[in-house]
Amino acid sequence: MEGEISMETVVATTKEELKQEIDCWRNAGETIGLVPTMGYLHEGHASLIRRARQECDRVMVSVFVNPTQFAPGEDLEAYPRDFERDRQLCRQLGVDLIFHPTPEVMYPQGFGTTIAMDQSMTGVLCGKTRPTHFQGVCTVVCKLFGLSHADRAYFGQKDAQQLAIVRKMNRDLDLGVTVVGCPIVREADGLAKSSRNVYLNPQERQAALVLSQAVKLGQEKVAQGETDADAIVSAMKEHIGKEPLARIDYVEAVDDIDLRPAHTVVSGTLFAMAVYIGKTRLIDNFITGGDAK
């Protein structure tokens, strides 16, 4: 992180504190970029923040482990948290404001409104085994869009289904935010950056490379002219299946806008996967015809 900006970053923990800052920016006619996160920030998040810094007058990062997108038995309590580290990184990157609310601030007593989208997008891929996940994602993102009055919001392509769903919600509800997708950031050996990577022991960390290897295999087949998406998916599954520590949740080809099944490779075909390495569920993907739109 050498060479980054060093400045004071305001931390708001209540909606009132947040509104005070946002109102000042709005009154000054400044544009606002929002980077929603669940904290434990890594280089992937940093790339989103840098993009926002380049394109907006003000940058707000939310750090909130959202309980409504975790089902019972998922890793809510174990999800890694280190707010002081997050705060220092945001300061280095020139973030103007961190919104760090408690669940009680975001979901006060009596809260009873959620965003439920059509199952054609939320019930596929990750939604098959996490049926309430995207309702929680959409609800918190919608609230963050409203609270921040953001002009632009930045999401990583690693969560490609989330990106497509947020874009649709934004269009359907006329929220007026420009949703920006940013490319996947990877470790030197190819593993996609993820806060959950810390769960992996050394053996599992090595085994996890099977995801990025499958991505590379799929990309190579597309580059060679293969247009049968099902054949590419089969080859990716076969490769992942050779790793003893890997258990496939899904590997599928879909359209990157509406997430409908894709059987022929065209520009915008999303090859997405979720794979358990030991007990840790990891995701990865690639889109034909370029990275995030």
The residues that are catalytic are 45
CB 118 within 8 A of CB 134: no
Three-state DSSP class for residue 214: helix
Strand order through the sheet with 280-287: 246-255, 269-277, 280-287
Q: Roughly how many angstroms between the first and final C-alpha of the chain, as a whole number?
A: 26
In whole angstroms, how far apart are CA 234 and each of 162, 214, 238, 251, 253?
24, 10, 6, 8, 10
Side-chain-side CA neighbours of 144 within 13 Å: the count stands at: 29
In angstroms, rounded to a whole number, what is the distance separating the alpha carbons of residues 135 and 99? 21
Which residues 6+ apart lie within 8 Å of 16 measured at CB?
A: none
Q: Is 184 exposed, middle or buried (0-12, 13-18, 19+ CB in 10 A)?
A: buried
CB 158 within 8 A of CB 125: no
DSSP letter (8 states) at residue 245: T
How are beta strands 10-12 and 97-99 bridged, if at all?
parallel
